[in-house]
Amino acid sequence: MGVATVTSTTGDAGTEAIKGAGPAQLEVRGVTKAFPGCLANDDISFRIEPGEIHALLGENGAGKSTLVKIIYGVLQADQGELIWEGAPVTIQSPHDAREMGIGLVFQHFSLFETMTVLENIALAMNDVRDMDALRKQVEEVEKTYGLPLDPDRHVYTLSVGERQRIEIVRCLLQNPKLLILDEPTSVLTPQEVEKLFETLRRLADEGCAILYISHKLHEVKALCQKATVLRGGKVVGGCDPREETAKSMAEMMIGQKLTAPDRGESRTFGDVRLDVSNLSLLSDEQFGTHLKDINLEVRGGEIMGVAGVAGNGQNELFRALAGETEQEAAPDTIKIDGKSVAHFGPRRRRRLGATFVPEERNGHGAVPDMSLSENGFLTAFRRMALSAKGLIREMPTKSFADNIIKTFDVRTTGTGAEAGSLSGGNLQKFIVGREILQDPGVLVISQPTWGVDAGAASAIHQALLDLAAKGTAVLVISQDLDEIFAICDSVVVMAEGKMSKPRPMADVSIEEIGLLMGGLHDLEGDVTPANNLEVEGGRVGQA
Amino acid sequence: MVRLEPRRQHSQSMVYLSPVLAILMTLVVGGIIFAFMGKNPLDALYTFFILPINNSYGLSELFVKATPLVIIAVGLAMGFRANVWNIGAEGQLTMGAIFGGGLALYFYDSESVFLLPAMFVLGALGGAFWGAIPALLRTRFNANEILTSLMLTYVATLFLSFLVHGPWRNPEGFNFPESRPFPDAGLLPVIYDGTRVHLGTAVAVLVVIAGWLLLSKSVIGFQLRVVGKAPQAARHVGFRQKRMIWFTLLLSGGLAGLAGLFEVAGPIGQLQPSISPGYGFTAIIVAFLGRLHPVGILFGGLIMALTYLGGELAQITLGLPNAVTGLFQGILLFFLLACDVLTKYRVRFGSIAAKGRTA
């Protein structure tokens, strides 16, 4: 794989470009952009025809976001040019870009929670005089493109999918000729993704060019007609996603062969090690999600996945399990190895053999401007006996950090390096390693491979599988369904602070999880699980 | 448009060089100010910074002045590390002097060797008590400790004033607002004959060593640093912020109280309405000048002590107002903070788009 395919596909792209009738909607020619210490974009060229859905593929740090910022006028290229409808242009600012007809749907939404949908849309328009006229326009766009949205609802009451719709409607109101979507589906359920794709296809049929940035290859395969693959700031190939497999595109993206995690033989489970029963807890945050009657049991040797769209109570669940919440959970709602820990702080839970890896690495899982040695000490000083009589034991602390670095292949200059100087993947390996080497009975890990390169991700997955094989109960909170399907034995789904019943991975389909992510498990009682997908699907259609 | 842009990497050596740079710039600006006041800048600077310490007595006075500054600043630095902003060390110093000094006044004819150690304990307790009030208000009612500790300073100063004007006034003191002189058993022994260098100076050195051990070798010092640098990580591993607030306010209050006691049981020898030329406030500058590190604070304390001596001498020999001392301290803090900002950030001129091009 690799070289041969890459050259042939670029060849294809080239001939197609020559064949293309009119000028491209946008052509990027030799764009180069350097930041201090890194060449983010190196001589990037590709073109998008009107009506084409074009994928921009690449891992984190491949240079996708920089390129988008250049096209949208947020950054200026050091070299190279942009050709818009056949004529060279300079795009000085996002304002210019919008005037020309470029719309961008951000990965992170820029919405005001306490304002209505319509007010939020009005804020993003260059000039709005007549709110009623705007309302009519909005309703028209919503109808045409199948984007149901009540203009008068306040944003904080909306789901993430609905919030994204606001962003899309905002863009569509300006009649874009090129619509850029940056990782639009990372916050959507599979069903919401399908709806979004319908909208995008309709737009493309009307001649709008779409630049679709993602690392989710199934989606790219389903949606896009062409793809440009970036790696390390360079274009390493182009292809027609419809003719590739997800695996071949992934290998193009990371530049090496992919190995599937080794799950070992079918595993046997021991006693329940993490037991959560009837856990309800108010969120510490103003717009947080309250936990409602959470029940789950993780047995020794089992990896349970917690799926769900972000913001449905996963963070609150993690904090409740780790003992970080300000409010205490009711007695006996959380048990570790049969011992009630609901009233315990993090340190006592850790003493009982539970360890935790939070989603955010910098500032939550690790202190960025402290050394790796100190960051190893941070969570392990009790269990690994790194302190004595209130003093830090220097040598054991250093050798513990050293051990993590060696065992988990953390690329760094040494134990003295600041945690913040490590790349995301390396720091995550260090944090995961730190908790695993403490030989935990229970490990709760949130978004284990979020923003981590593919190599590190597969190492982390393997480490979790190995840990479970030794009899640890592992709870994986993840938004990435592929990840859950790859390593988990069973799965629960969180929606609006509630949790579905656990299901063995073997008996559950991705569609079913998608429905649960949408918050349908209230109806679960009516429906016999597993073989009644049709019925549940029908309900969605009516809803 | 001028903007500050975070530096991707900040140089470690600049962190330690910036105090030196700040001192140099303070000297330059100080010289310019002297010139405007009609004095020869070089002469004035010489009078201010060299003359006070070019004899052994002057040098010993430097240690006397640096003693309270160092003791207080080590305590404050612990709090600043954990983002606990005790601005009221001056008040805690005063309460320490009142508590410890009160004991000496109660046993004014005592000859017991236990009097002085008991005064140490009471002085530290008095300061810690005054630090406990902002700690309670912060942990219970989330009241900002910057404001409460600062306001309590004025309460403490007025309380001292009330005592020496009223109940604790020396009955044989011709109505001067001063207490009785402390008994000999309640005075700090001078450790170098012919100077005013007292036992407190030795204690200050011990405080520096203990502070260094606490901060870099102990688990609680580690917790302090984590709470200050990454509160969420601290919560994640169960380092409780409230405990750190209590610990640092009691510690810095106690040390300030001890420093206050050393002043009244040392150079002053009695209670009087004014027992400190703002040591509690100057110690804040000392703490930052010393990079919140006990060893750095030792040097920072000596430098700030010099501004007090220089100010006094400039008043006597050049006829400059005493406010020059405060002026120098202020300029120094200003340059120090400016250097720190420029260590962490770079200044960018022009619009965002322009920045894109130059990057």
* Residue B108, amino acid: Y
- Average of per-residue pLDDT across B323-328: 85
Touching check for B2 and chain A: CB below 8 Å? no
- The answer to whether the CB of B260 falls within 8 A of the CB of B93 is yes
Q: Nearest-CA residue of chain B relative to A418?
A: B9
Q: State chain B's mean pLDDT as an integer.
A: 90
Is there a contact between B219 and A381 if contact means CB atoms under 8 Å apart? Answer: yes
Q: Is B1 on the interface with A (CB under 8 A)?
A: no
Cβ(B132)–Cβ(B249) under 8 Å? yes
CATH class entry, domain A3-101+176-254: alpha beta
Fold of A259-353+440-543: Rossmann fold (3.40.50)
B18 occurs within a structural domain: no
What band does A3 get if pLDDT is binned at 50, 70 and 90?
Answer: very low
Check if A379 contacts B (Cβ < 8 Å): yes
Whether A416 has its CB under 8 Å from any CB of chain B: the answer is no
pLDDT in tens, A490-512: 999 998 889 999 999 888 888 88
> Is residue B140 less than 8 Å (CB to CB) from chain A?
no
Split at pLDDT 50, 70, 90, the class of A16 is very low
- Residue contact B229–A347, C-beta within 8 A: no
Domain assignment of residue B2, yes or no: no
Cα(A424)–Cα(A361) distance, integer angstroms: 8
Taking one residue from A and the other from B, the number of pairs with CB-CB distance under 8 angstroms is 73
Pairing of strands A53-57, A102-105: unpaired
3-class DSSP assignment, residue B264: helix
pLDDT, position A259: 67
| H/E run at residue A340 | strand A339-340
Q: Which of A18-27, A457-466, A495-504, B255-264 has the highest mean pLDDT?
A: B255-264
Residue A442 pLDDT > 90, yes or no? yes
Q: Does pLDDT of A527 surpass 70?
A: no
Nearest CA in chain B to A72: B353
Q: Is the pLDDT of residue B299 over 70?
A: yes
Q: What is the pLDDT of residue B350?
A: 61
Contacts 24+ apart (CB under 8 A), A12-20: A12/A238, A12/A239, A12/A240, A13/A46, A13/A226, A13/A238, A16/A226, A17/A47, A20/A47, A20/A49
In this complex, the residue of B229, B235, B238 whose CB is nearest that of residue A370 is: B229
Take residue B170 and report the two structure tokens written for it: 């020396």
Beta bridge partners of A180: A104, A211
User: pLDDT tier at A216 (50, 70, 90 boundaries)?
Assistant: confident
CB contact under 8 A, B230 and A363: yes
Contact of A121 with A58, CB cutoff 8 Å: no
ipTM over 0.85 threshold: no
Q: Are B232 and A364 in contact (CB under 8 A)?
A: yes
pLDDT at A7: 38
* Dihedral pair phi/psi, residue B138, rounded to 5°: -70, -50
Radius of gyration of chain B (CA): 22
Q: Which residue has the tokens 């109570």?
A: A313
Q: Is residue A518 helix, strand or coil?
A: coil
Q: Given a cut of 60, is residue A528 above it in pLDDT?
A: no
Query: Domain locations in chain A?
Result: 3-101+176-254, 259-353+440-543, 362-439
User: What are the chain B neighbours of A358 within 8 Å (beta carbons)?
Assistant: 236
Q: Is B236 at the interface with chain A, CB within 8 A?
A: yes
Better-scored residue on pLDDT, A124 or A361 = A361
- Nearest chain A Cα to B234, which residue? A364
Is some CB atom of chain B closer than 8 A to the CB atom of A39? no
Q: Is A476 helix (H, G, I), strand (E, B) or coil?
A: strand
What's the confidence (pLDDT) of residue A266?
A: 63
Give the best residue of A364, A389, A395 to mutate against chain B (max B CB count within 10 A). A364
DSSP B171-203: TTSTT-S--PBPPGGGSPPBSSTTS--BHHHHH
Q: How far is B345 from chain A (nearest CA, A)?
A: 14
Give me the pLDDT at residue B182, please: 93
Whether pLDDT at A76 is above 80 = yes
Mean pLDDT of chain A: 83
- What element of type H or E holds B204? helix B199-217
Lowest mean pLDDT among A99-108, A368-377, A462-471, B335-344: A99-108
Nearest to B258 by CA among B143, B135, B127: B127
CA–CA gap between residue A182 and residue A179 (Å, rounded): 10
**Neighbour tally for A241: CB within 10 Å:** 25
The answer to whether A355 contacts chain B (CB < 8 Å) is: no
Residues of chain B with Cβ-Cβ distance to A345 below 8 Å are 238, 240
* Residues A11, A14: Cα–Cα separation, whole Å: 5
Nearest-5° Cα angle at A380, A378 to A384: 145
Contact B236 A366 (CB under 8 A): no
Q: Any idea which of A351-360, A394-403, A449-458, B161-170 has the lowest mean pLDDT?
A: A449-458
Q: Out of B218, B226, B352, name the one closest to residue A378 (CB).
A: B226
> CB distance from A367 to chain B under 8 Å?
yes
Q: What local confidence, expressed as pLDDT, does residue A304 receive?
A: 96
**Would residue B185 count as lying in a domain?**
yes
When pLDDT is averaged across residues A66-76 and rounded to a whole number, the result is 89
CA neighbor of A376 nearest in space, from A329, A344, A441, A422 = A422
What is the mean pLDDT of the segment spanning B107-122? Answer: 93
> What is the chain A residue with the closest CA to B240?
A345
Compute the distance between CA of residue A71 and CA of residue A420 in angstroms, rounded to an integer. Answer: 30
SS3 A179: strand
pLDDT above 60: residue B26 = yes
Whether residue A328 lies within 8 A of chain B, CB to CB, comes out as no
User: Does the CB of A96 have a partner CB in chain B at under 8 Å?
Assistant: no
pLDDT cut 70: percent of chain B above it: 96
Q: Do A370 and B357 touch (CB under 8 A)?
A: no
- Asked if B353 and A347 come within 8 Å (Cβ–Cβ), the reply is no
A window 43-82, beta carbon within 8 A of B: 74-76, 78
- How many structural domains are present in chain B? 1
Task: Report how far residue A55's alpha carbon sits from residue A180's, in angstroms, rounded to the nearest whole number.
Answer: 10
Distance from CA of A88 to the nearest CA of B (A): 18
Q: What is the mean pLDDT of residues A378-384?
A: 92
Contact B238 A356 (CB under 8 A): no
Q: Does A37 touch chain B (CB under 8 A)?
A: yes
Mean local confidence (pLDDT), A523-535: 39
Query: A360-369 pLDDT, tens per residue?
Result: 888 899 999 8
Contact A391 B218 (CB under 8 A): yes
CB neighbour class for B204 (10 Å; exposed up to 12, middle 13-18, buried from 19): buried
State the maximum Cα–Cα separation within chain A, in Å, rounded to a whole number.
78
Instruction: Give residue-wise pLDDT tens across range A150-164.
Output: 888 888 877 777 788
CB-nearest partner of B217 from A35, A348, A392:
A392
Tell me what the mean pLDDT of segment B28-53 comes to: 88
B232 — contact with chain A (CB < 8 Å)?
yes
B35 touches chain A (CB under 8 A): no
Q: Specify the pLDDT at position A107.
A: 64
CB atoms within 10 A of CB B11: 11
| A367 → closest Cβ in B220, B226, B352 | B226
- Taking residues A378-406, report their average pLDDT: 93
pLDDT at B317 over 90: no
**DSSP string of A16-50?**
HHHH-SS--SEEEEEEEEEETTEEEEEEEEEEE-T
The pLDDT score that the predictor gives to residue A18 is 42
Structure tokens at A365: 């899982």
B144 Cβ under 8 Å from any chain A Cβ: no
**Cβ contacts (< 8 Å) between A379 and chain B: which residues?**
236-237
* Per-residue confidence band for B254, with pLDDT thresholds at 50, 70 and 90: very high
Chain A contact set for B225 (CB, 8 A): 367, 370
Residue of chain B minimizing CA distance to A365:
B233
pLDDT at A37: 66
Interface contact flag, A345 B238, Cβ < 8 Å: yes
If one compares A269 and B80, the residue with the highest pLDDT of the two is: B80
pLDDT value for B131: 97
Between CA B166 and CA A63 the distance in angstroms is 75
Q: Which domain holds residue B100?
A: 60-293
Task: Give one word for A465, left, alpha or beta, with left for phi > 0 and alpha for psi -120 to 50.
Answer: alpha
* pLDDT digits 0-9 by tens, A244-263: 887 788 788 877 776 666 67
What is residue A532's predicted lDDT score, i.e. its pLDDT?
A: 37
CB contact under 8 Å between B229 and A369, yes or no, is: yes
* CA-based nearest residue to A443, from A426, A460, A427, A418: A460
Domain A3-101+176-254 shares a fold with domain A259-353+440-543 = yes
Closest CA of chain A from B348, distance in Å: 15
Q: Which residues of B touch A78 (CB under 8 A)?
A: 357
Which residues of chain A does B142 touch, with a Cβ-Cβ cutoff of 8 Å? none
Rg (CA), chain A: 25
| In contact, A296 and A304? CB cutoff 8 Å | yes
Nearest-Cα residue of chain B relative to residue A32: B357
pLDDT tens digits for A301-327?
999 999 988 778 898 999 999 999 888
Q: Is the pLDDT of residue A525 over 60?
A: no
